[in-house]
């Protein structure tokens, strides 16, 4: 249970300190590193320290809150737990319950990444795949709780969960006390509620910025209305923050402790994932990369600051990684689709392929397209998928094909 203090907020710094004492076990939660990124320094014009919580056991911060709650409940006689999750909370609850000698059943959306489903089972939980989105999954989980003696472990609407996540805030402060700004992804708000409570106690002048995916954004409307707003549908590659809603408790803490909220698009998140792969050599999921997407955006100025983006999760499904990389490379024009109109006779593919090769580009694949209305008899399109080094190189390739007498279109689409 949360303690009371003069602030009147649902969770206090004392609660977070007590949670940290419970989490004093490296086999449950380890202290994750920070790493200075000179590449990101150059992009934002400040000092960037990545908080690498994606290297936590289970690949995310979620075990912190889950263990803080479950360990207390087990001491009070609870032996079975139920949770609903898109993936990371599922693994946190599964590990925490297993460590405490309890059983857990996790309800996950039908489209949950397979890697997260497998990992959750691997940590000892029973997994039920139900619902087309998180809200449907949540409804099934709550119905199951009513029909059993199990305790429900909410992903963010629980003061013990928030306090557990807040231990990360203490860690971040001690990692880099000079930080001017910390950037924290937001789904249901439990993580930023806990972290901001800790940070504002330890360093009130530090700016706390929350970031949401555009396709799952709820904070601005919730702040405007003064009550939690829930979306009927979410659409983002950042499934870890695709809750579609926050709680009254997290909204209250966000109002009190969070200085700024920004949103980022899926394209920006994909670019951040790719940049972290290239420059930091880190594999981070969409939710984890959202903080980096925020500092790279025009909506958040961290120039001349020391900034710490939180990489909160690294459970990136490999099929999702492929989709993200294609999207990001296409946005950079490092992956092109060129449609070239030709006279349909032997040798045309070889000749145009030679032009592209002379430009130092690689052809990933090529096909003939003859069933198009605007083609004359005896004409065809050659559609090339081409790898380039970027926008300037792409333009040079197109110019060379065009200069050889061919009509060429860049039909690349995101």
Work out whether strand 80-84 and strand 407-410 pair parallel, antiparallel, or are unpaired: unpaired
Taking CA atoms, 174 is separated from 60, 167, 305, in Å, by 19, 11, 17
CA distance 412 to 68: 49
Q: What stretches in the chain show pLDDT beneath 70?
A: 1-7, 414
Residues 252, 9 contacting (CB under 8 angstroms): yes
Work out whether strand 181-185 and strand 151-152 pair parallel, antiparallel, or are unpaired: unpaired
Which DSSP string corresponds to 121-149? HHTT-EEEE--SSHHHHHHHHHHHHHTSS
Q: What share of the chain is helix, strand, coil (3-state, %, to 5)?
A: 45, 20, 35
Distance of CA 411 to the CA centre of its chain: 29
Work out whether strand 47-51 and strand 34-36 pair parallel, antiparallel, or are unpaired: antiparallel
CA distance 167 to 25: 13
CA distance 383 to 379: 13
Taking CA atoms, 197 is separated from 3, 89, 254, in Å, by 13, 21, 9
User: Number of C-alpha atoms within 13 angstroms, CB side, residue 174?
Assistant: 8
| DSSP 8-state secondary structure symbol assigned to residue 57 | G
Domains of the chain: 13-60+159-328 (3.40.50.1100), 62-152 (3.40.50.1100), 333-410 (3.30.70.260)
CA distance 179 to 11: 23
pLDDT score recorded for residue 6: 46
pLDDT score recorded for residue 5: 54
Give the chain's length.
Answer: 414
Contact residues for 214 (Cβ-Cβ < 8 A; gap 6+)? 236, 263, 264, 265, 266
Residues 229, 222 contacting (CB under 8 angstroms): yes
pLDDT score recorded for residue 132: 86
Contact residues for 211 (Cβ-Cβ < 8 A; gap 6+)? 183, 184, 185, 186, 261, 262, 263, 264, 290, 291, 293, 294
pLDDT in tens, 191-214: 999 999 999 999 999 999 999 999
Give SS3 for 301: coil
Contact residues for 255 (Cβ-Cβ < 8 A; gap 6+)? 223
CA distance 190 to 210: 12
Strand partners, 156: none
pTM, two decimal places? 0.90
Closest CA to 312 of 272, 349, 279, 339: 272
Work out whether strand 362-369 and strand 260-264 pair parallel, antiparallel, or are unpaired: unpaired
pLDDT score recorded for residue 109: 87
Cβ burial, residue 271 (10 Å; 0-12/13-18/19+): buried
pLDDT score recorded for residue 388: 96
Residues 211, 336 contacting (CB under 8 angstroms): no
Give SS3 for 413: coil
């Amino acid at each position: 249970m949360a303690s009371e203090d003069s602030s009147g907020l649902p969770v206090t710094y004392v609660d977070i300190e007590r949670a940290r004492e419970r989490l004093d076990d490296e086999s449950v939660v380890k202290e994750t590193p920070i790493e200075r990124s000179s590449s990101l320094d150059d992009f934002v014009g400040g000092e960037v320290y990545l908080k690498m919580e994606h290297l936590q056991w289970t690949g995310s911060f979620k075990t912190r809150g889950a263990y803080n709650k479950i360990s207390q409940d087990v001491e009070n006689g609870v032996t079975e737990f139920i949770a609903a999750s898109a993936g990371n909370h599922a693994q946190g609850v599964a590990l925490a319950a297993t460590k405490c000698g309890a059983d857990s059943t996790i309800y996950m959306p039908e489209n949950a990444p397979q890697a997260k489903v497998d990992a959750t089972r691997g940590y000892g939980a029973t997994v039920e795949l139900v619902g087309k989105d998180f809200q449907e999954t949540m409804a099934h989980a709550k119905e199951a709780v009513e029909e059993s003696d199990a305790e429900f472990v909410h992903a963010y609407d629980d003061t013990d969960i928030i306090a557990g996540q807040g231990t990360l805030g203490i860690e971040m402060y001690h990692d880099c006390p000079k930080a001017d700004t910390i950037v924290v992804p937001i789904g249901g708000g439990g993580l930023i509620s806990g972290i901001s409570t800790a940070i504002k106690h330890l360093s009130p002048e530090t700016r706390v910025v929350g970031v949401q995916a555009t396709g799952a954004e709820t904070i601005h409307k919730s702040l405007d209305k003064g009550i939690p707003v829930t979306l009927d549908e979410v659409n983002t590659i950042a499934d870890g923050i695709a809750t579609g809603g926050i709680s009254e408790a997290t909204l209250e803490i966000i109002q009190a402790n969070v200085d700024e909220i920004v949103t980022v698009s899926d394209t920006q998140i994909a670019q951040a994932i790719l940049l972290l792969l290239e420059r930091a050599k880190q594999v981070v999921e969409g939710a984890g990369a959202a903080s980096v997407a925020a500092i790279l955006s025009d909506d958040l100025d961290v120039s001349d600051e020391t900034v710490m983006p939180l990489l909160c999760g690294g459970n990136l499904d490999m099929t999702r990684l492929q989709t993200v990389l294609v999207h990001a490379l296409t946005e950079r024009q490092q992956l092109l689709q060129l449609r070239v109109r030709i006279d349909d006779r032997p040798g045309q593919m070889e000749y145009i392929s030679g032009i592209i090769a002379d430009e130092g580009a690689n052809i990933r694949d090529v096909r003939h397209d003859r069933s198009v209305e605007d083609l004359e008899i005896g004409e065809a399109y050659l559609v090339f998928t081409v790898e380039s080094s970027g926008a300037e190189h792409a333009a040079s390739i197109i110019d060379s094909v065009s200069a050889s007498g061919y009509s060429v279109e860049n039909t690349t689409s995101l």
